[in-house]
């Protein structure tokens, strides 16, 4: 039996290849500092686990979940957005429960586009956005994200042809992989642009809880009129260290939410109800654990920047997310530099070109090891003598 044409046209899984390289090095007994993946290293808070334990002992949770999720979680998502962002959400028509937001991001083009339609994707951007493009048999144009524009797209640079044919646009702030953060003004501009050109917007708010230097990342839905043309996808993976739980949700435009719910009616039967109860606890209860996590990532970010400066590696501190976007050493491509760090220093990073054309010249580093390991990583890089330490 051959794979279907649709399966054959899927892009290679970028992170699977990275994991393979790291596992090979580990199998050789090497002490690899893995900064390449976005897998939170802290445990899920106890109060969330306790809710799961109690719910799992209740035989009612052993039955099929309602197709569109339990009412408690849909209401919790609505209450969370009202409390945290002052955005009104109807739990019955403006919430879709997801088995992790990757599911929603991949299935959305299948739900709202037709083969041959165009969408706009950030470059650099999360590689799995391309999975939805391939499965829906749609086309895409890119939104270049550059340091010169604070890693925000410049809508004025798009041609009339691109704006005319685009029907769906993905954004992601705080941004993976660059660590860039959007402003309220940018989201207001996005709403105007989307309405003028009749483009639906999906904002991937995976790192919404992780903003630095006292600045909280805004929600796209806080922009006036955002719900008229768009949705936002929120995962509990990052905010609550629940990556393995596979739970998140989309909120916003009722028609787009209904499209997601309809396709999920045919693909899934929602998530294990006990996980949904635990997710509701995470959203409903006091958020000190989230603030503590944000502070931890900020401390790690500061350590990385300080240690990099000591060895002459000039980097820009990310404004949000748990990633840093670092320029490669002179004379190397992204992939060459990433391979060098793994082969010569036992440091795993993600090559920037894996995130798109505009990722070339960078590597992505995760702030997902403790500060001592970050210091050790910079000491290993220093031994390669790739950077010139500036004498004060």
pLDDT averaged over the chain?
A: 96
Per-residue pLDDT, averaged over 20-42, amounts to 93
Tell me which residue of 362, 358, 315 sits closest to 335, measured CA to CA: 362
What pLDDT, on the 0 to 100 scale, is given for residue 309? 95
Tell me which residue of 323, 332, 336 sits closest to 364, measured CA to CA: 323
What is 5-44+288-383's CATH topology? 3.90.1150
What pLDDT, on the 0 to 100 scale, is given for residue 108? 98
- Dist. CA 349–CA 339, nearest whole Å: 9
Tell me which residue of 292, 290, 282 sits closest to 50, measured CA to CA: 282
Report strand pairing: 166-172 vs 200-204: parallel
- Dist. CA 194–CA 169, nearest whole Å: 9
Per-residue pLDDT, averaged over 281-290, amounts to 97
Token pair for 155: 């809508």
Instruction: Give, in order, the Cα–Cα distances in Å from 388 to each of 301, 349, 392.
Output: 22, 21, 12
What pLDDT, on the 0 to 100 scale, is given for residue 151? 98
Per-residue pLDDT, averaged over 314-329, amounts to 97
What pLDDT, on the 0 to 100 scale, is given for residue 389? 66
Strands (E), the chain: 33-34, 95-98, 118-123, 139-144, 166-172, 200-204, 230-235, 248-252, 323-327, 347-348, 350-351, 362-366
Tally Cβ neighbours within 10 Å of residue 359. Answer: 23
What pLDDT, on the 0 to 100 scale, is given for residue 19? 85
pLDDT tens readout for residues 195-205: 999 999 999 99
With bands split at pLDDT 50, 70 and 90, how would you rate the model's confidence at 391?
very low
Instruction: Give, in order, the Cα–Cα distances in Å from 228 to each of 62, 191, 222, 259, 331.
Output: 38, 9, 12, 15, 47
Q: What share of the chain is helix, strand, coil (3-state, %, to 5)?
A: 50, 15, 35
Higher pLDDT, 308 or 16: 308
pLDDT tens readout for residues 123-155: 999 999 999 999 999 999 999 999 999 999 999
What is 46-284's CATH topology? 3.40.640
| Range with the poorest average pLDDT among 8-22, 84-98, 156-170, 356-370 | 8-22
State the residue for tokens 């699977």: 16
Strands (E), 225-281: 230-235, 248-252
- Dist. CA 278–CA 52, nearest whole Å: 5
pLDDT tens readout for residues 83-116: 999 999 999 999 999 999 999 999 999 999 999 9
- Dist. CA 152–CA 173, nearest whole Å: 9
Residue 392 reports pLDDT greater than 50: no
What lies within 8 Å, CB to CB, of 189 at 6+ separation is 155
- Dist. CA 64–CA 268, nearest whole Å: 11
| Range with the poorest average pLDDT among 4-13, 228-237, 244-253, 348-357 | 4-13
With bands split at pLDDT 50, 70 and 90, how would you rate the model's confidence at 12?
confident
Tell me which residue of 150, 167, 156 sits closest to 116, measured CA to CA: 167
Where exactly are the structural domains of the chain? 5-44+288-383, 46-284
Residue 14 reports pLDDT greater than 80: no
Tally Cβ neighbours within 10 Å of residue 189. Answer: 17
């Amino acid at each position: 039996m051959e794979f279907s044409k649709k399966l054959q046209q899927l892009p290679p899984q970028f992170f699977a290849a990275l994991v393979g390289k790291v596992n090979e090095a580990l199998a050789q007994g090497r002490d690899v500092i893995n900064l390449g993946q976005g897998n939170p290293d802290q445990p899920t808070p106890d109060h969330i686990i306790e809710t799961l334990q109690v719910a799992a002992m209740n035989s009612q949770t052993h039955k099929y979940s309602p197709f569109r999720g339990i009412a408690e979680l849909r209401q919790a998502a609505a209450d969370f957005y009202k409390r945290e962002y002052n955005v009104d959400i109807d739990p019955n028509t403006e919430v879709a429960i997801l088995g992790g937001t990757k599911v929603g991001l991949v299935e959305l083009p299948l739900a709202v586009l037709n083969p041959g339609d165009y969408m706009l994707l950030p470059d650099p951007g999360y590689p799995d956005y391309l999975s939805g493009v391939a499965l829906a048999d749609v086309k895409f144009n890119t939104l270049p994200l550059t340091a010169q524009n604070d890693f925000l797209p410049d809508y004025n640079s798009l041609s009339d042809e691109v704006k005319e044919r685009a029907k769906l646009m993905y954004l992601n702030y705080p941004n993976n992989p660059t660590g860039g953060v959007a402003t309220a003004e940018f989201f207001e501009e996005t709403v105007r642009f989307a309405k003028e050109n009749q483009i639906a917007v999906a904002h991937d708010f995976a790192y919404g809880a992780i903003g630095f230097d006292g600045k909280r990342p805004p929600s796209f839905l806080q922009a006036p009129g955002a719900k008229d043309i768009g949705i936002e996808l929120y995962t509990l993976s990052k905010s609550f260290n629940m990556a393995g739980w596979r739970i998140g949700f989309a909120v916003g435009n009722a028609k787009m939410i209904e499209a997601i719910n309809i396709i999920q009616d045919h693909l899934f039967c929602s998530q294990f109800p006990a996980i949904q109860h635990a997710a509701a606890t995470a959203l409903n209860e006091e958020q000190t654990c989230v603030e503590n996590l944000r502070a931890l990532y900020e401390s790690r970010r500061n350590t990385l920047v300080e240690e990099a400066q000591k060895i002459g590696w000039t980097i820009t501190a990310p404004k949000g997310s748990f990633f840093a976007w670092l320029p490669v050493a002179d004379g190397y491509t992204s992939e060459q530099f990433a391979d060098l760090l793994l082969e010569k220093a036992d440091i795993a990073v993600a090559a920037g070109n894996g995130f798109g054309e505009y990722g070339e010249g960078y590597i992505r580093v995760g702030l997902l090891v403790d500060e001592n390991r970050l210091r050790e990583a910079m000491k290993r890089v220093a031994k390669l003598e790739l950077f010139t330490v500036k004498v004060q």
